[in-house]
A and B are shown apart, each in its own frame.
Chain A
Amino acid sequence: MAELLPTILIIEDEEPIRRFLRLSLEGHDFRTVESSTAAEGLSLAASHNPEIILLDLGLPDLDGLEVIKQLRSWTTVPIIILSARGKEQDKIQALELGADDYLTKPFSVGELTARIKVALRHLSRTGNNSIEPAFQTGNLKVDLEKRQVFVGGKEIHLTPTEHKLLSILVRQAGKLVTRKELLGDVWGPAGGDSSHYLRIYVHQLRHKLEENPAQPRYLITEPGVGYRLRTE
């Protein structure tokens, strides 16, 4: 019986990039499928049903954002964007259209594999709808069911808003969550553009959870885009 290795679809037009992606991912026990155009990529996504899709935005035949749209119309497969475009606007757009994460070129394979692992973990979790058991990373332990947060064993008290904010980040641990999503989920449609509020609350959370709020270990800011709860 063939081992069921997770399949990763690589949609990228530069051959050398495909090469190092393939070689390192295969070295990490993934199966890879490659395509150099959007059209080919879309068809391979349908035929191979990969676990993860790595998508370059600068494809020759179709804009990457369009590809995200098309993919999201029929699949929830995690999409990780690889792009030379580093502007925040591009990142936000991609994430809002449904991408799960965003890596700016140049990046190291270490970063990439970490993000892929996060994406896979979330995949396996979203299968069941039950609320997961306590989340733990480093010194931080969060029990969403019991609504308890511990740092180094000591219980920390959070206001309802702070807790709500943290739980969203915990549920998407390791992934980049846009400000818009956070605002919408915590404050509802009235949240709108109040990223100022968000900043204040994240600041407060950091002071409660981080050993050194100025050099956060868990609550990472992605400037201009959103926040990420880092899993170690």
Chain B
Amino acid sequence: MTHQQIKNKNLFSSFYSEWKDYLFALVVLLFCNLSALGLSHFLDLTNLLMIYLVGILAVVTKGGSGPSTFTCVLGVLSFDYFMVPPRFAFAPTDSQYLITLVVVLLFTLTISKQMAHARYQTEIVQSKEERTAALFDLSRKLAASQDMDQLLVIASEHIAEIFECRTAMLMPASLNNLVVKAGWSPAFSLDTQEQKTARWVYRFGKIAGQGASNHPESAAFYIPLLAAGDPVGVLAVQPRDLKKPLTSEQQHLLQALANQIGASFQNVRLAVESQKAHLKAETEQLRSALLSSVSHDLRTPLAVITGSASSLLDPEGHLTEEARQELAKDIYNESERLNRFLSNLLEMTRLSAGKVQLKKEIQPLEEVVGGSLSRLEKRLGGRKVQTDLPEDLPMLPLDSLLMEQVFTNLIENALKYTPPGSPIAIAAHVRQQSMKVTVSDSGPGLPFGDEELVFDKFYRGQSSGKQSGVGLGLSICRAVVEAHGGRIWAENIPEGGASFCFTLPLETDPVASGNS
């Protein structure tokens, strides 16, 4: 609770409880009088006084200052009237009783005042505790914040609440300007005078404004947000109650807070920048890997084409017809190879950019496998691919073109990395709610430990020859399978060879096409 709220509460509750307290006071006094009267024959005057004192104490500990005072006075008077001789009259016969009465009155009033004071103090401590708790809360939120703007909003809201003021967070914008980034109710405007003060604060890193030694004519109190001694922004504070400017204690506290905010802000900003730099570095790395890979892999087929064509054109070449045929064939093959590289590259770029929309159609897996195998017919060159696709394999939603690409890439890999003539197998079966497809071979298998790495962009196997290909084939497979909602992984077969497995979800409702 804020000071203001305490006072309000006191006023309100005191008004309400005043009613009750007065009533209570009257009841107590009535009780005192009655019991005193009743016991007047048995008890001494001093002890009768105790009854009244007890009554007064009861009221004073509970009630507010008004009722307390009321009780004290009325209590003493009623003691005087009812108990002090002459009874039922005010003026005491013995003048020493006057002293008693005055002392008792003073005594009770003092106690009542002390009690009221103690109560007040307790409430202040309570409010201080609450404020500390609020500050800790703010610290915690600041520390947890990852967003610069959010941080400023949180901070300004908290400060506004704790200190009962209007706040604004001013951050440097262009050139020399400070712009309100959070807080700021329309009533608190930043006109040129205030801008000047704010800029002064930002430049010199010192407090200024209302209540400070610099620019005291300003409407608000300005505190620099410091991070390691350098200002990163300015906090402007204006008490809601203009009659109650900030105390120096509050100013100190605000400064401490401002430092904390400044530091947190700087931390978040550095984290964001570091992340951006990291991303940039990664992009650069990827780009140069791509460039060097592409450069080499495009030059080689081009070298064959240029070399072979220039041989064919060489007037002093003396080539046999057979030789000419071979050279022409090479030109053809290498241009196809170039085409494949470029397609792979483009594919990968499109998939990475997330622009690909799957055109899924319910179809049997066989169709896609068949399409891929027929495209690869020439490259397979008679090599057998075993297919184990049960007849009752359910149809499922697939993007034909992309899925064919997946099979093509997997089979091409098998062709590249396994000895000619060794078997390649494709199998599929239903497992739980999805279809599991396996493309396996009996070649040398994957390098131990690289089973996950093979799917990285530009991963190339360390096989005996420098393999053609940019190294994107498997990453394309992963992108496509995952776009279908499946998972792909690689394993080494214990008997020797590699096996690439992927799952595809079986959808139960026939959706003709859909975006993933």
Q: Is A223 an interface residue (CB 8 A)?
A: no
Which residues, 270 to 327 on B, are CB-close (under 8 Å) to A? Answer: 295-296, 299-300, 302-311, 314, 316-319, 323, 326-327
Shortest Cβ distance from residue B319 to the other chain A in the assembled complex, whole angstroms:
5
CA distance A185 to B305 in the complex (A): 40
Check if B164 is an interface residue, CB within 8 A of chain A: no
How many whole Å from B372's CB to the nearest CB in chain A? Answer: 25
Chain A neighbourhood of B295, CB < 8 A: 84
Say if the beta carbon of A19 comes within 8 Å of chain B: yes
A106 touches B314 (CB 8 A): no
User: Contact between B306 and A106 (Cβ–Cβ < 8 Å)?
Assistant: yes
The total of interchain contacts (Cβ-Cβ below 8 angstroms) comes to: 87
Do B310 and A27 touch across chains, with their CB atoms under 8 A apart? Answer: no
Contact indicator B304/A17 (Cβ below 8 Å): yes
Contact B326 A23 (CB under 8 A): yes
Nearest B residue (CB) for A28? B316
Name which residue of chain A comes closest to B309, CB basis. A108
Inter-chain contact A108/B303, CB cutoff 8 Å = no
- Are A106 and B319 within 8 A (Cβ)? no
**Cβ 8 A contact of B310, one of A13, A58, A105, A110:** A110
A28 to B314, CA, bound (A): 10
Q: Interface residues of B: mostly helix, strand, loop or mixed?
A: helix
What 1/0 flags go to A22-39 for Cβ under 8 Å of B?
011001110000001000
Q: Which residue of B lies closest to A104 (CB)?
A: B299
| Chain A 52-106 interface residues, beta-carbon cutoff 8 Å to B | 58, 60, 84-85, 105-106
Chain A residues 1-26 with CB under 8 Å of chain B are: 13-14, 16-17, 19-21, 23-24
- Decide yes or no: A106 and B307 within 8 Å by CB, A23-B323, A23-B327, A27-B318 being known contacts: yes
B307 to chain A, nearest CB (A): 4
Q: A110–B323 Cα gap in the complex (Å)?
A: 17
Q: Which of A13, A24, A58 sits near B319, CB closer than 8 Å?
A: A24
Report the separation of the CA atoms of residues A105 and B318 in the bound assembly, to the nearest whole angstrom.
23
When chains A and B are docked, how far (Å) is the Cα of A19 from the Cα of B311? 10
| A24 pairs with B466, CB closer than 8 A | no
**B305–A106 CB distance below 8 A:** yes
B465 and A16 contact, CB distance less than 8 A? no
Contact of A107 among B300, B303, B319, B333 (CB under 8 A): B303
Residues of B within 8 A of A36 (CB): 465
**Are the CB atoms of B300 and A17 closer together than 8 Å?**
yes
- Bound-state CA distance A84–B294 (Å) is 11
- State whether the Cβ of B157 lies closer than 8 Å to any Cβ in chain A: no
With a cutoff of 8 Å between Cβ atoms, the chain A residues found around residue B334 in the complex are 16
List the B residue with the shortest CB-CB distance to A111.
B310
Complex CA distance for A10 and B319, rounded to whole angstroms: 19
Q: Check A60–B466 contact: CB distance below 8 A.
A: yes
Do A13 and B299 have beta carbons less than 8 Å apart?
Answer: no
Across the two chains, which residue of chain B brings its CB closest to A85? B296
Contact residues in B for A17 (Cβ distance below 8 Å): 300, 303-304, 307
Contact residues, B316-345 vs A (CB, 8 A): 316-319, 323, 326-327, 330, 333-334
Instruction: Determine how close the nearest CB of chain A comes to the CB of B306; give it in whole angstroms.
Output: 4
Closest 6 CB pairs of A and B: A108-B310, A106-B306, A105-B303, A24-B311, A84-B299, A27-B318
Known: A106-B305, A106-B306. A19 touches B300 (CB 8 A): no
The reply to whether B307 and A28 form a contact with Cβ atoms under 8 Å apart is no
A46 interfacial contact with B, CB 8 Å:
no
User: Cβ of B303: which chain A residues have Cβ within 8 Å of it?
Assistant: 14, 17, 84, 105-107
Inter-chain contact B305/A27, CB cutoff 8 Å:
no
Q: Let me know if A13 and B466 touch, CB within 8 A.
A: yes
The 30 listed contacts between A and B (C-beta, < 8 Å) are A13-B466, A14-B304, A17-B300, A17-B307, A19-B308, A20-B304, A20-B308, A20-B327, A20-B330, A24-B314, A24-B317, A27-B311, A27-B316, A27-B317, A29-B318, A36-B465, A58-B466, A60-B466, A84-B296, A105-B303, A106-B299, A106-B303, A106-B305, A106-B306, A106-B307, A107-B303, A107-B306, A109-B310, A109-B314, A110-B310
CB distance from B136 to the nearest CB of A (A): 60
Give A3 Cβ to nearest chain B Cβ, in Å.
Answer: 15
Q: Which of A107, A108, A109 has the most CB of B within 10 A?
A: A109
* Residue B5 at the chain A interface, CB threshold 8 Å: no
* Interface: B464 (CB within 8 A): yes
